[in-house]
Amino acid sequence: MKGQAEGISAVRDILPVSRETAERLETYAALLGRWQKAMPLVAEADLADLYWRHFADCAQVVTIMPEARFWVDIGSGAGLPGLVVAMVGGAGTEVDLIESNRRKCAFLREVIRETGVPATVHEGRAEDLARGWQKPVDVVLARAVAPLVRLLDLALPLMCEGVRTAFHKGRDYQREIDEATLSWEFDLVKHDSRIGGGGVILEISNLRRKTADQG
């Protein structure tokens, strides 16, 4: 893994990071490296460039939606992007992390405990937890979870008026969009990823299923 100073500099290429936030990211990185030995959380090859490939990539959604305060991360896994958003978000930020894997939930809770970030872990399947969701939502997050058509199905119960998504997608994103438009209607803004590689952040709003006569 690159040195801490170099790593934090990579995140600061995306947005300003205070000393307190830098310390939280460093604690997160250390815990991730420790847990990675027993349970794969990220690709082994990515550990050497963790801050840029993961932390900076996740942090960029805050620059796209700086006014958002209430975030829900579907299939949070190692906490990417939810934990990073909780660390770099503005005052009043609250992040809910939905994850079905018990061991990953234990990891998420340890990071929250050690860093004091404003995040809450919800253990269970997104399709179950999203139904009847009572907490406020501004943005639904997802990164490396499922194809877009499946993500939209998971996100729909959370997508009340004004709610948007910030879905990280790789260079093959257009194929996923084309597939999703067969069964969904939505407003879409594509934000080019600032870390390169041809990826995008998909900002989706006004999500609704197509009716039978629209298919």
Tokens of 169: 């997608």
pLDDT in tens, the chain (215 residues): 445 677 899 899 999 999 999 999 999 999 999 999 889 898 877 777 899 999 999 999 999 999 999 999 999 999 999 999 999 999 999 999 999 999 999 999 999 999 999 999 999 999 999 998 999 999 999 999 999 999 999 999 999 999 999 999 999 999 999 999 999 999 999 999 999 889 999 999 999 999 876 65
What pLDDT sits at residue 1?
46
What Å distances lie between residue 178 and 82, 172, 181, 184, 194, CA to CA? Answer: 27, 11, 5, 10, 23
Give the integer Cα–Cα distance in Å for 162 and 59: 22
What pLDDT sits at residue 3?
56
Beta pairing, strands 200-209 & 164-169: antiparallel
Tokens of 125: 């399947």
Tokens of 126: 């997104």
Helix (H) or strand (E) holding 207: strand 200-209
Q: Are 165 and 203 spatial neighbours (Cβ–Cβ below 8 Å)?
A: yes
What pLDDT sits at residue 47?
75
Architecture of domain 59-214: 3-Layer(aba) Sandwich (3.40)
Q: Are 10 and 55 spatial neighbours (Cβ–Cβ below 8 Å)?
A: yes
What pLDDT sits at residue 181?
97
Q: The pTM is what? A: 0.94
Q: Are 34 and 41 spatial neighbours (Cβ–Cβ below 8 Å)?
A: no
Place of tokens 């009340």: 160
Tokens of 177: 């969009």
What pLDDT sits at residue 86?
98
Identity at 84, one-letter amino acid code: V
